[in-house]
Amino acid sequence: MSSMNITTLLSCSRTTVLTLRFKDQSLITLTRGGRDFFAASVVELLQDVSAIVPNLRELTVHAPSAIPIPVMAVLRFGSLHRANLHMSITGTLSERSTSFRSCSRWTCLPSKPSRCTGTSDTNLGAVASVLDLGRVRELSVTAYHHLGQGFLYNMHLLVSRAPSFLTHIEIVALGDMAPSVDGGRLVDVFRPLLARRSLQKVTMILTGYRLDFSPPDLSLLGRAWPDLRHLNLSFSLLDYNMLPNMGHFLPNMYELCPRLEFLHLPALATSTGHSAAFHLPILPDCAIEHISADVAWFEHKILDVAWSLRRAFPRLQQVGPVDGNDGWRDTNDLVRALQDKDYATIFEHVAKYLRAGMYRPLP
């Protein structure tokens, strides 16, 4: 169907939801001029749609990634509640501009919460310069490859443009599994977020990066975001010699973020440096339901850790990643067994570790 037929059809309807899908079978044989013409046709159609359907609430566009579309073409829809854009977008009309594959959502009505999400192949520098994030409350970016220092730099620029009332931030870098980029200190990279005190959900999954993140940095985040409910940090550490001690930082995080429900960190530990027995204060009002980490170093016996966690956090449902290693699985199984008074599982655990010489038999 031609663009003229589409716009004629739309002008006779009260369309509020629209999906445009552009086929790409013949793109390989297109010349540069042909690609420019294709991009211009998409832009013209989007401009016509924005004028003909002023009350459009939801727009989905699937365009070939080989054809960059100027970002201004998708910023003309003033009444959208949601936009899902699967296309390569440039910050300007120039083909030399940095492009990214975007799957974006935002709400333009000031009376409603706003959301802007996107998936990035390279960096967001050109696009961030023209995006208006003034009403955005939820911001999500996912990058799949071509990562490096430039990605973190662009993320710093992007979050610095976010409004003070931002509530959700999600930045996911799915690069090479082996950490290869030294990213510096996490709180320096994302320092602008420390001023966004309304944050409730923070996710930073930075595969392929090594970052400096110490226990004092964790306290800094807690003080910055008192309404935090969900904290998910996953990346390799530059230094694994100083890990957050569960016996200290968990009660501290409860004091700083009393509504925290989900906590995942790059690493955590229990240290026998202060006491041979692992102990946590009882926190009957604590909302925490999930505690996990990429790396865990327990110097205390798992049964002691599980007992203290179960006793301290009455709402705890999951300890360790769902697909965690044997240590995490044993800890989580014991927490559940203690909750359910499943003594068979508890005795089975003790017997297994007695056989391994990890528990001292009673006299």
pLDDT tens per residue across span 205-254: 998 899 999 999 999 999 999 999 999 999 999 988 888 889 889 999 99
Q: Is 288 inside a domain boundary?
A: yes
According to DSSP, the β-strands at 115-120 and 168-174 are unpaired
CA-to-CA distance for 332 and 310, rounded, in angstroms?
10
Q: Is 345 inside a domain boundary?
A: no
Per-residue pLDDT tens over the stretch 139-157: 877 776 556 777 788 788 8
Q: Tokens for 224, please give them.
A: 């910055």
Q: Is 147 inside a domain boundary?
A: yes
Eight-class DSSP state of 342: -
pLDDT score of 122:
39
CA-to-CA distance for 345 and 349, rounded, in angstroms?
6
Looking at per-residue pLDDT, the higher value among 129 and 203 belongs to: 203
pLDDT score of 163:
84
> Which residue range forms the structural domain that includes residue 216?
3-324
Q: Give me the amino acid identity at 361.
A: P
263: confidence class by pLDDT, cuts 50, 70, 90 = very high
3: confidence class by pLDDT, cuts 50, 70, 90 = low
Q: Is 102 inside a domain boundary?
A: yes
Q: Is 363 inside a domain boundary?
A: no
Quote the mean pLDDT of the chain: 77
Give percent helix, percent strand, percent coil of the chain, each to the nearest 5: 35, 25, 40
- The mean pLDDT of 101-117, rounded to a whole number, is 37
CA-to-CA distance for 270 and 329, rounded, in angstroms?
17
pLDDT score of 95:
33
Q: Specify the CATH number for the domain of residue 40.
A: 3.80.10
pLDDT score of 197:
96
Q: How many domains does the structure of the chain reveal?
A: 1
CA-to-CA distance for 194 and 357, rounded, in angstroms?
47
pLDDT score of 69:
73
Q: Is 360 inside a domain boundary?
A: no
Q: Is 52 inside a domain boundary?
A: yes
262-to-88, 246, 255, 317, 339 alpha-carbon distances in Å: 34, 15, 15, 10, 19
pLDDT score of 356:
58
Q: Is 329 inside a domain boundary?
A: no
CA-to-CA distance for 172 and 102, rounded, in angstroms?
14
3 state SS of 91? coil
